[in-house]
Amino acid sequence: MISFTLCCDNGHEFDGWFRNGAAFDEQVAASALSCPACGSEKVEKALMAPGIPAKSNKKTGTPPGVYAGAPDPKVKELIEQVRKLRQHVEDTAEYVGDKFPEEARKIHYEETEKRGIFGEASVEEARELLEEGVEVLPVPTLPEDHN
Ligand SMILES: [Zn+2]
C-alpha cells in the first residue's frame, strides 16, 4: 500500500491509500475517487515540494499578493482604509524601529511601560513573538510608502 496526499478542485486536501501508483491512476480514470469534504470527483495528487512534509508546508502561509488591473472602487476604498490604519498606528504608537521584537517582549513581560509600539520585525521574529503569546499585528505597507 502507498499513500498519496490528494487534492480536489475545491482545494481540499486528504490522504488516500492505494495498492500502487497504477491503482491510483485507474481509480481516477474510473471516477472512483471523490473528495470526503465536498464530494468532488475532480481529484488529483497534491503538489508537494520535494523533501518537505505536506503538513509543515501550510505554515509558510499565503505569499503576499500584488494587485493590478482595472481601477476597482472597492480596492481603492480598502487601500484608503489601510492608509488610515497606518496613519492611526503612526499617530498613536511609538516607533521603535528594529527594536520591535525586544520592546514587544518587554511590554509583554511588563518590564517597561505598557504602550502601543510599531516597528520592523521579520516574519520569523513575528512568529516567535506570537508563539510566546505576545500579540503582534502586521501593518500593511503600501508600495507608495517606499517613496
Ligand atoms: Zn473537496
pLDDT at res. 31 = 84
pLDDT at res. 57 = 45
Q: Any alpha helices (H) in the chain, and if so which ranges?
A: 21-29, 54-57, 73-92, 100-108, 123-131
* CA 75 / ligand 1 centre spacing (Å): 30
Whether residue 141 is found in the same domain as residue 97: yes
* CA 35 / ligand 1 centre spacing (Å): 5
Whether residue 46 is found in the same domain as residue 84: no
* CA 16 / ligand 1 centre spacing (Å): 13
Q: Is the residue at 127 inside a domain?
A: yes
* CA 46 / ligand 1 centre spacing (Å): 12
* CA 49 / ligand 1 centre spacing (Å): 21
pLDDT at res. 129 = 92
Q: Is the residue at 67 inside a domain?
A: no
Whether residue 50 is found in the same domain as residue 106: no
State the pairing for strand pair 13-18/43-45.
unpaired
Q: How many CB atoms lie within 10 A of CB 146?
A: 6
Task: Give the Cα separation of 115 and 41 in Å (integer).
Answer: 53
pLDDT at res. 62 = 53
Whether residue 85 is found in the same domain as residue 132: yes
pLDDT at res. 65 = 61
Q: With contact defined as beta carbons under 8 Å apart, do 86 and 140 qualify? A: yes
Q: With contact defined as beta carbons under 8 Å apart, do 101 and 136 qualify? A: no
Which domain does 108 fall in, by range? 73-146
Tell me the per-residue pLDDT of 97-134, one tens digit each, with 9 for 90 and over: 999 999 999 999 999 998 889 888 888 898 899 999 99
- pTM score > 0.85 for this model? no
* CA 39 / ligand 1 centre spacing (Å): 6
- Which residue numbers in the chain have pLDDT < 50? 51-54, 56-59, 147
Coil, strand or helix at 59: helix
Q: Is the residue at 66 inside a domain?
A: no
Domain count, the chain: 2
Whether residue 30 is found in the same domain as residue 52: yes
pLDDT at res. 108 = 93
Amino acid in position 94: E
* CA 88 / ligand 1 centre spacing (Å): 41
pLDDT at res. 56 = 45
